[in-house]
Amino acid sequence: MRCLKGYILVVFVLLCAVVKAQQPVTNVLPEGYQRATLEGTDTVAVVALREVLVFPEMKFKNEKERIAYTKLVRDVKKTYPYALLIYDTLIETYEYMETLPDDKARQEHLERMEKELFKQYKPELKKLTFSQGKLLLKLINRQCNQSSYNLLKAYLGSFRAGFWNIFAGLFGASLKTTYDPKGEDAKTERVVMLVERGLI
């Protein structure tokens, strides 16, 4: 009888070990990370921390400034996803065009892409206000590190880029708009960084 109880106990322990081994391991650090490291004879903890943004509290001289900032936050939230989409589309298009055999195939692909993008996004982009459109041009410059004019020139040629820049000029905008995160666009940069991290 004692033998049987001992056998059952051993089988039970083995089963528990097998079940425990099959359970997903939790709280595992990503590859390359360590919980601690040795420096000489000292054990030093290794902790991966998220980046923390610290901005001074926004102070407004008057109600008009506060409303302008609130409007900027709203506009960045509306236009920033489009700037990200444009960047992703450009990268994807460039990588795909590198696989095409000749200039004719590349040109056909660009024309097809242009039609598809116009069809898909024109109704949404037409709803942007004038100030949102100007902000989008700046955010495109921020994401792509090039002006919208240079991007159009690279993909559509200088004639069509010039045409679209003249067209934008009729409405007081410019495709050659640049982004200055430490100067003129410092508030916009602050808002973008907060939006990226989901803090506003």
**pLDDT tens, 112-126?**
887 888 788 888 878
- Closest Cα partner for 46 from 38, 54, 57? 38
User: Of 33-37, 45-49, 95-99, 180-184, which range is least confident?
Assistant: 33-37
Q: Which residue segment(s) compose the domain that 79 sits in? A: 63-196
35 occurs within a structural domain: no
Whole-number mean pLDDT of the chain? 78
Residue 10's pLDDT band, with cuts at 50, 70 and 90, is very low
Q: How far apart are CA 158 and CA 153, in angstroms?
A: 5
On whether residue 109 sits in a domain, the answer given is yes
Considering only residues 188 and 168, tell me which one the structure prediction assigns the higher pLDDT. Answer: 188
**30 domain residue, yes or no:** no
- Going 93 to 96 to 99 to 100, the CA torsion angle's sign is negative
Choice between 79 and 158, residue whose per-residue pLDDT is larger: 79
Cα–Cα distance measured from residue 186 to residue 72, given in angstroms and rounded to the nearest whole number: 12
The torsion of the CA quartet 5, 11, 17, 20, rounded to 10 degrees, works out to: -90
Is the pLDDT at 64 greater than 90, yes or no?
A: yes
Is residue 113 in a domain? yes
Q: Is residue 74 part of a domain?
A: yes
Please check the confidence at residue 13 and state whether its pLDDT lies above 70. no
Q: Is 93 exposed, middle or buried (0-12, 13-18, 19+ CB in 10 A)?
A: middle
Q: Which residues contact 58 (CB under 8 A, 6 or more apart)?
A: 69
What total number of domains does the chain contain? 1
In-domain check, residue 43: no
Q: How confident is the model at residue 27 (pLDDT cuts 50, 70, 90)?
A: low
Q: Is 127 inside any structural domain?
A: yes
Q: Is residue 143 part of a domain?
A: yes
Residue 103 phi/psi, 5-degree rounding, is -65, -35
Q: Which residues contact 71 (CB under 8 A, 6 or more apart)?
A: 131
